Structure 1
Amino acid sequence: MELRHLRYFVVLAEELHFGRAARRLSISQPPLSVAIRQLEESVGARLFDRNSKEVRLTPAGHALLASARALLRQAEEAALEARDVSQGSAGRLRIGFVGAMLYRGLPQALRKFQAKHPAVRVTLSELNSGEQIAELLHDRLDFGFVHTSRMPAELRHVLLMSESFVVCLPVGHRLARRRTVPAASLRDEPFVLFSRNVSPDYHERILAICADAGFRPEVRHEVRHWLSVVSLVSQGMGVALVPNAMRHSALRGVAFRPLEEPVAQSESYGVWRDGPENAVVQAFLRTVQAGRAG
Structure 2
Amino acid sequence: MNITFRQLSYFIALAEARNFGRAAAQMHVSQPALSVQIKELEAQLGAQLVERQPRKIVLTPAGHELLRHARRIMEEMRALQLSARWQKGLAGKLTLGVIPTVAPYLIPVALPLLRTRDTSLELGVREARTERLLNDLGEGLLDAAVIAIPSHMDHLVEEALFEDRFLLAGSEAQLSALDGQTEGLKPTELNPDRLLLLEEGHCLADQALEVCALKRSQTRVDLGASSLATLCGLVAEGFGLTFLPEIGLKSETASTGHLAIRRFEEPQPRRTIGLVRRRLSRDDGWFRDLAEILREAGESLLDQARRASPPGA
> What is the TM-score normalised by the length of structure 1?
0.60
Q: CA deviation at 1:184?
A: 5.7
Q: CA deviation at 1:156?
A: 1.1
The 3 A distance-change label for structure 1 pair 168 and 153 is same
Aligned: 1:196 with 2:200: yes
Q: Which residue of 2 aligns with 1:154?
A: 155
Q: CA deviation at 1:89?
A: 5.3
Write the distance in 1 (CA, Å) between the matches of 2:178 and 2:202.
32
1:252 paired residue among 234, 253, 257: 257
Write the distance in 1 (CA, Å) between the matches of 2:186 and 2:210.
14
Identity of aligned residues (%): 17
Q: Which residue of 2 aligns with 1:210?
A: 212
> Conserved in 2, the CA contact under 8 Å of 1:169 and 1:240?
yes
> Conserved in 2, the CA contact under 8 Å of 1:190 and 1:219?
no
Q: Which residue of 1 aligns with 2:308?
A: none
Unpaired runs of at least 5, structure 2: 1-82, 301-313
SS of the residue 1:268 aligns to: strand
Q: Which residue of 2 aligns with 1:165?
A: 166
> Conserved in 2, the CA contact under 8 Å of 1:142 and 1:281?
no
Q: Which residue of 2 aligns with 1:114?
A: 115
Aligned: 1:137 with 2:138: yes
Write the distance in 2 (CA, Å) between the matches of 1:261 and 1:282.
31
Structure 1 range deviating more: 228-237 or 216-225? 216-225
SS of the residue 1:90 aligns to: coil
- Structure number with higher strand proportion: 1
Write the distance in 2 (CA, Å) between the matches of 1:148 and 1:223.
23
Write the distance in 1 (CA, Å) between the matches of 2:113 and 2:210.
37
Aligned Cα root-mean-square deviation (Å): 3.1
Structure 1 range deviating more: 189-198 or 132-141? 189-198
> Conserved in 1, the CA contact under 8 Å of 2:97 and 2:125?
yes
Q: Which residue of 1 aligns with 2:283?
A: 277
> Conserved in 2, the CA contact under 8 Å of 1:160 and 1:289?
yes
Write the distance in 2 (CA, Å) between the matches of 1:141 and 1:84.
14
Q: Which amino acid aligns with 1:256?
A: I
Q: Which amino acid aligns with 2:259?
A: V
Q: Which residue of 2 aligns with 1:86?
A: 87
> What is the TM-score normalised by the length of structure 2?
0.57
**Count of residues in Structure 1 that have an aligned counterpart in Structure 2:** 209
1:238 paired residue among 237, 240, 245: 240
Q: CA deviation at 1:277?
A: 1.4
The 3 A distance-change label for structure 1 pair 93 and 238 is same
Q: Which residue of 1 aligns with 2:101?
A: 100
SS of the residue 2:160 aligns to: strand
Aligned: 1:286 with 2:292: yes
Write the distance in 1 (CA, Å) between the matches of 2:154 and 2:265.
38
